[in-house]
A and B are shown apart, each in its own frame.
Chain A
Amino acid sequence: MIGNKRANILLLLIPTLAIMAFFLLSILAIARDSFNKFVSPGIMEPAFTLENYLMFFTTPAYLNVLYRTIRISLVSTALSLIIGYPLAYYIVRGSPLIRRVCTSVTLFSFLTSILVRVFAWRIILGRTGLVNRVLNAFGIPSSASYLGTELAVTIGLVYFLIPFVVFTLVGVIDKIPIELEQAAKTLGANEIITFLKVTLPLSTPGIMAASLISYCLGMSAFIIPLLLGGDQVKMLANIIYDQCMFVVNYPFASAAAIILLVISLVIIVVYQKIVTRGLKY
């Protein structure tokens, strides 16, 4: 039986490991490509040069995209936390009916095709959209389109991020013993003080974790800027796609992809540190 153990583990894991190895290999391949020299579209020369990375960090156009990506991700993260927190709180502490409604709505939004969700915002923010119709109804003439602005991309991103924030927060708020809140209230604290001094501080690990996840997802947003930002508001992922498929500059596209990957991995390492520390409180 014991001799079997190693064989068992291997047998169970081999198929999965094979496909993951393939995946890692393909990522290593673009990491290698990122040091190659660009010759002409689709053609590169094997080399060990940093010029692709240098080009990324010295060209104002690309730096602007990087700054914009960071800015939009930060703002979206903050907003999705504010909108997601009440949902998460009531999924844990609400009455059975409220719990059910909040859970279904969050899941429903999460599972709905991202293209559909983004497209809906095009109807809301477009020239004949809901925003303009509401403004017109109040006698404010407006026929401007909000598409192609950072605002549109931010709204779309916030909408996309909320379910992730809720999932993460629910896990943490669920672990806060309700007795602590009850004790605070028995000792004379009102609802606001109880929330500010007990519930909110105890959900900090969740807020941190949710922020990092949202930020990470925001940094790699692709469809949302593509459909709501157009050519005016491109983010990092769009640059990678354009460089790979249209400009066909594989070394540069690879370098940009590796930059995005490194940013994401750093965020996740920090995230894991926080989550493991959070569990100990």
Chain B
Amino acid sequence: MKKIRIDKVAKVFSIFALVCSVFFLLLPLIVIVGSSFGDTPYLTFPPVGFTLRWYFEALGLKQFVQPLLISIQLGVFVATVSTILGLLASLAIVRYDFPGKNLLNNLLLSPLIIPLVVTGMALYRFFTTTGMRAPFINLAIGHIIVTLPYALRTIEACLQVFDVTLEEAAMTLGANRLQTFLKVTFPLIKPGVIAGWLFAFAMSFDEFVVAIFLSTPGFVTFPVEFFYYIRWSINPTVAVISTFLIIYVLVLVIILDRTLGLRSVLGILK
């Protein structure tokens, strides 16, 4: 009898803790979306009144157009390069045994450990002292370094469960190495490659710390522009732009779920 009662209390308590945790994670997102509809010139939650006028106003904010284009171009370029580099490196790591492999793995994952401020400052100093003044290239290099671990891990995870005998079969049947890769290996690891690309894109698109070091007055990424905007104004258009960004993440989560499955995504991120 007593055990059953204790079990019940424990169950109720743990579910309560879970609900609190989920609520804590969702609260800021709800607040952002909710306050974007408020009919007050300042931001507040719960919203007072209801209006869509901040949505029209936000769509008219011209200063975000250029940074948004820059961030998308940068993200696509960075994700593509990171995915290719990650694919090549993970083939070497998963398929071959060689001395110093552990060290190499640590080196490749080091951008996750090294504080972004240090990465940003080191690259900023390096580019300024060597006179490299092309902001797109500089930002791309910075973001490739930062996103490479994500691309690498995602593709590595896919390659690890890959059945090598399939390749051997293709080669026995007369396919050369390139044919084998294009017709057998790549189609099978495609979900990992797509997810790796998406991760790299998402990380680059959202990256702020390295970007604020490497942006120049005429060449600013979207997060940096957004930062300057929220620093000086606190009207509801900020909540509108944030809501757009939340919708973008929603789409991203759905795509990740379809390509890799949410559970394997968790495994990669740990």
Contacts and interface: CB of A to CB of B under 8 A. Distances in A.
Interface of A: 5-6, 8-9, 11-13, 15-16, 19-20, 22-27, 29-30, 33, 83-84, 86-87, 89-91, 98-117, 119-124, 126, 128-130, 133, 159, 162-163, 166-168, 170-171, 188, 190-192, 195, 216, 219-220, 222-223, 227, 237, 240-241, 244-245, 250, 253-254, 257, 260-261, 264-265, 268
B111 to A, nearest CB: 7
A265 B28 contact: no
B117 A240 contact: yes
A75 B119 CA distance: 26
Nearest to A159: B28
The 5 closest A-B pairs by CB, nearest first: A220-B115, A120-B28, A191-B10, A26-B126, A12-B92
Interface string B130-159: 000000000001001100100000000000
Given A86-B18, A89-B14, A123-B32, 4 more contacts: A16-B89, A26-B122, A89-B18, A166-B266
A19 B122 contact: no
B85 A26 contact: no
Contact of B245 (A102, A116, A245): A116
A257 B122 contact: yes
Given A13-B88, A20-B145, A84-B21, A261 B118 contact: yes
A12 B25 CA distance: 41
A241 B119 CA distance: 11
Given A108-B249, A111-B249, A227 B230 contact: yes
B18 to A, nearest CB: 4
A89 B252 CA distance: 25
B223 A120 contact: no
A27 B122 contact: yes
B125 A30 contact: yes
Contacts of B256: 107
A11 B84 CA distance: 13
Given A12-B92, A102-B18, A123-B31, A195 B117 contact: no
B262 A107 contact: yes
Contact of B119 (A23, A110, A117, A122): A23
Nearest to A192: B10
A257 B121 contact: yes
Contact of A5 (B25, B96, B245): B96
A130 B85 CA distance: 46
A166 B31 CA distance: 23
Contacts of A30: 118, 121-122, 125
B31 A16 contact: no
B239 interface: yes
A123 B117 contact: no
A250 B21 contact: no
B3 A190 contact: yes
Contacts of A29: 122, 125-126, 129
Interface stretch (B40-48, B55-63, B160-168, B185-193): B40-48
21 contacts: A11-B88, A16-B89, A23-B119, A26-B122, A103-B266, A106-B25, A113-B245, A116-B246, A119-B238, A120-B29, A120-B31, A120-B32, A123-B32, A123-B45, A126-B234, A133-B44, A133-B46, A191-B10, A222-B209, A223-B208, A237-B209
A170 B266 contact: yes
B253 A19 contact: no
A262 B136 CA distance: 30
Contacts of A107: 253, 256, 262, 265-266
Contacts of A166: 266
A104 B242 contact: no
A209 B25 CA distance: 21
A91 B265 CA distance: 13
A111 B202 contact: yes
Interface in B6-46: 6-7, 10-11, 14, 17-18, 20-22, 24-29, 31-32, 35, 42-46
Given A112-B245, A114-B208, A16 B253 contact: no
A108 B253 CA distance: 7
Given A9-B98, A16-B108, A23-B119, A268 B113 contact: yes
B114 interface: yes
Contacts of B43: 123, 126, 128
B118 A100 contact: no
B173 interface: no
Nearest to A137: B46
